[in-house]
Each structure stands twice: as C-alpha cells, then as structure tokens.
Amino acid sequence: MLPDTLVSSPILTSRFRVGRRLALAGVFGSGLLAIANLLVGFMARSTSVVAAGFEFTGDVMASAIVLFGLVIASRPPDEDHPYGHGRFEILTGLLVGLILAAAGVGICVRSLQMVGEVHAPPAAYGIWPLLGSIVVKSFLSTFKFRHGRRIHSAGLVADAWNDGVDILSAAAALAALGLTLYNPQQFLAADHYGGFAVGLIVIFTGFHVIRDTSLQLMDTMPDEDLMIAIRNVALSVPHVMGVEKCFARKTGLQYHVDLHLEVNPEITVRESHEIATQVRIRIRETLDWIADVLVHVEPSPLADSSNPAIAGQGASREPRR
C-alpha cells in the first residue's frame, strides 16, 4: 500500500497537462515547418534551407519523444515504482540531446560534401520559409522555456533549447542564402557553409542538453535557493531546533527530499514523530514542487536538559548550508 502523499496531486496533473499540450504544439509546428522548408529548399536548390528542413524533421521526433515521456511520467506511483515514473521524462530530455548532436553531425558532413559541387544559384523565394521558421520557433521556444521551467520539466526545457537553436540556425541559413543571392559569383559556396553553420549550432545545443539532463539523472542537488526554501519551511514548524542535513533529487517534475531534523532529545519518540509529520506536511503544502519528504530525527546539540531556556529556542536557529 503506497502512502497517500505519493498520489498524484491536482497541481501535478495540471503541470503534466500543460507539458503535453506544449509538446503536441511542437510536433505540429515543427512538422509544418519541416514540410515547408524541405519542399521550398529542394525547389529553390538551397542547401541551407534544406538543412533547416531536415533539422525541423528531427524536431518533430524530439517533440514527439518529449510528449511520450510526459505521458509515461504522469502515471501514478505503484508498488514497483514507489517514486513514480518521473525519471522517464528526464530520459526523454537526454534522448533529445543525443538526437540533436547526431543530426548536427549529419548536417555538417552533408553541407561540406556539397561545397565543391557546381550548381545554379538558389532561388530568392527560399528566404520565405526561413523567415516563417524564425517567427514560429520564437513563439514555441518562449512558451516552452517559460512553462518548462515553471513546471520543472527537463524534457520540455530541452525541447525549448531545440527551438531556440532553430532560430539561430534559421538566421544563419538566411544570412548565407542572402549572401549567395546578393553576389552568386563570389558567394555561391556561402549557402553550403550556412548549412555547415546550422550543423555546428545543433551539435552545441545537443551537448548542452545532454549535460543538463545527465546532471539530473546523477541526482545533482537543485539550486541553493530551492534548498534554502526547504530548510526555512522546516524551521518554521514549532519545536524544530535545526536542520542538520538536507538532500533533494529530481524525479520528473518534482523533487524528493531527505531531511535530518534536530529536536530536543528529552522529548518522547511519539512527540518527535509528530514534529516530523508536521514538517513533512508543511513542506508539501508550501512548496508544490516537492513530491515527498523523508524525515529523520536527530538530537539537537543546542538542547540542554538542565537549561529549559536553551531547549526552547530552536525555531530561531539558522539553517546549516
């Protein structure tokens, strides 16, 4: 029987719903851009536009993976997965990074292979799908970054980075195509080098996403301000004399916390258990990004049974960093 604190809350359900909607918007948005850039790129004979089209095709796959990860991660905890299925969402972020890096290498190789080829200059109408891509990806990236960070979704933030790099790559492709159209004789190869620049940007972003998601999979501690918030809420509970240790690890959209409380060693086991329970409840009610808290009770070194004044001052103690 799982504790009721691990049952999915309405807030968590709402976060998963937001994440799924944004990921689905990414699938459709990137799909339309991929079709437009590939069709126009081949018709206009533009390497940089075609490269952007293939990149957007990878974006469709990336957003679909994030969507699938959010669906799996939203499943409630069970006997085999008492901490839930949230890590699957982080794994999808890692997979998006790997896809980005691999796609970038492919784009670079193909673009360099075409540098020496002789062909007619690209058509001017190739700029239009690139301009449209910049506008659409600006909206997608902004919304995914904003809501991905708000709901603590590694997969959605990775997808937002993906959209952000699309803006840079489309701008690079647009500049390269513009040079080629401005002076085809002098800058004919600029279109190919623009495709190569797109590939480099994609590779860099892929490694950035891989690094961030790998840190979360390795149970890297969250930012210091989040840890201070946990400690401060714990210290606000009556009869808590200090926080000896505080650890947190990310599981999907929320964190699981291990907390070592310091209490008066003269109180009973039942009393210390009640204090620990109140701390657990207070943290989960105050910080909605906390999934659950495992509380350990330690005797406080501040307590002195011969001095009641010292034993009662715990709540004002500064937390240890």
Considering 33-42, 61-70, 93-102, 194-203, the range whose residues carry the highest mean pLDDT is 33-42
Class of domain 224-316: alpha beta
Q: Find the mean pLDDT for residues 79-98.
A: 82
Domain ranges in the chain with CATH number 3.30.70.1350: 224-316
Assigned CATH class of 4-217: mainly alpha
320 — pLDDT class (breaks 50, 70, 90) = very low
Query: Does the structure show a pLDDT above 80 at 310?
Result: no
pTM of the model: 0.68
Task: Answer for the pair 87, 251: CB distance below 8 angstroms, yes or no.
Answer: yes
pLDDT in tens, 204-233: 888 888 888 888 788 778 888 889 999 999
Q: Output b/e per residue, 194-207; b: 16+ Cβ within 10 A.
A: bbbbbbbbbbebbe
Write the pLDDT tens digit of every residue in 110-162: 778 777 665 677 788 888 999 999 999 999 999 999 998 888 887 888 888 88
Q: Which of 136-140, 164-168, 181-185 has the lowest mean pLDDT?
A: 181-185
- pLDDT recorded at residue 264: 92
Chain region(s) in the chain for CATH 1.20.1510.10: 4-217
Burial class, 301, CB count within 10 angstroms (exposed 0-12 / middle 13-18 / buried 19+): exposed
